[in-house]
């Protein structure tokens, strides 16, 4: 049924969004003394991120630039340099923190890669995502690693064409309906949705119809190899 199985990285193979939440909360703590009670600092930050995605893309650096912009806007330019430096330190810490791989992922990839051509498709900042892949201890499981600026049907079509992969024989595993599943379904591929408990507000999307025959939701990544093997039977 499948010739190629691809995995997303962030919040599919290793922790990611929980770190963003940590630094988002730090941002709120820094800004709280400057704003009136009831000001939704997180909402202002998310709105700034949304407006900047086209220019900055995804990832920690994009988050950092949007955080700086939101801080200046929310305080009418009155934020102290020391507080801006505090935000920047958080961004630097976020960029250099070690990769924390989910339990059981190495075994999952070992099992899948022994039976299928296996690739990694992740989006975000090239330098940061490359460092995470290289230091994760997982890169040897993949026949190919693709770091993209966006995950949409056009991107997946381009990647699959460049790797000579038939979309109808392609399966994507990931935690994001918006980025990992819906675009793949749109080009005729198969999507395996493995939800993670935390999802970035800008990554929300409605699930495909229940009768979609190229889509399945699996509770944990540890169950993915068995499901894939069943499709081969």
Domain ranges, ordered by start, for the chain: 4-15+100-232, 17-96
In 82-169, beta strands by DSSP E:
117-123, 144-148
CA distance between the termini of the chain: 9
pLDDT tens digits for 54-70? 999 999 999 999 999 99
In 63-113, beta strands by DSSP E:
none
Task: Return the CATH architecture of domain 17-96.
Answer: Orthogonal Bundle (1.10)
pLDDT tens digits for 128-174? 999 999 999 999 999 999 999 999 999 999 999 999 999 999 999 99
Query: Residue 122, SS3?
Result: strand
Mean pLDDT of 167-190: 97
| Reported pTM | 0.94
Name the nearest CA neighbour of 52 among 40, 41, 65: 65
Predicted confidence (pLDDT) at residue 233 exceeds the cutoff of 80:
no
So what CATH class is 4-15+100-232? alpha beta
The band of 232, judged by pLDDT with boundaries at 50, 70 and 90, is: confident
Name the nearest CA neighbour of 160 among 148, 149, 147, 170: 170
- Residues contacting 17, CB < 8 A, separation 6+: 10, 11, 196, 198, 199, 200
């Amino acid at each position: 049924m499948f010739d190629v199985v691809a995995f997303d990285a962030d919040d599919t193979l290793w922790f990611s969004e929980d770190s963003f939440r940590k630094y988002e909360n730090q941002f709120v703590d820094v800004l709280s003394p400057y704003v009136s009670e009831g000001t939704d600092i997180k909402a202002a930050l998310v709105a700034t991120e949304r407006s900047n995605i086209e220019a900055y893309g995804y990832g920690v650096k994009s988050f950092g630039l949007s955080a700086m912009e939101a801080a200046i806007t929310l305080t009418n330019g009155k934020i102290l340099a020391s507080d801006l430096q505090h935000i920047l330190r958080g961004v630097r810490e976020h960029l250099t923190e070690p990769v924390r791989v989910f339990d059981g992922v190495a075994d999952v990839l070992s099992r899948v890669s022994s039976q299928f051509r296996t690739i990694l498709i992740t989006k975000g900042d090239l330098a940061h995502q490359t460092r995470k892949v290289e230091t994760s201890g997982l890169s040897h499981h993949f026949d190919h690693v693709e770091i993209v600026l966006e995950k949409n049907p056009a991107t997946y079509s381009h990647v699959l064409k460049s790797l000579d992969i038939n979309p109808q024989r392609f399966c994507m595993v990931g935690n994001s309906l918006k980025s990992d599943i819906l675009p793949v379904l749109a080009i005729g591929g198969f999507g395996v949705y493995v939800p993670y408990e935390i999802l970035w507000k800008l990554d929300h999307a409605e699930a495909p119809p229940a009768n979609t025959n190229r889509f399945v939701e699996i509770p944990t990544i540890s169950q993915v190899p068995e499901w894939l093997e069943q499709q081969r039977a």
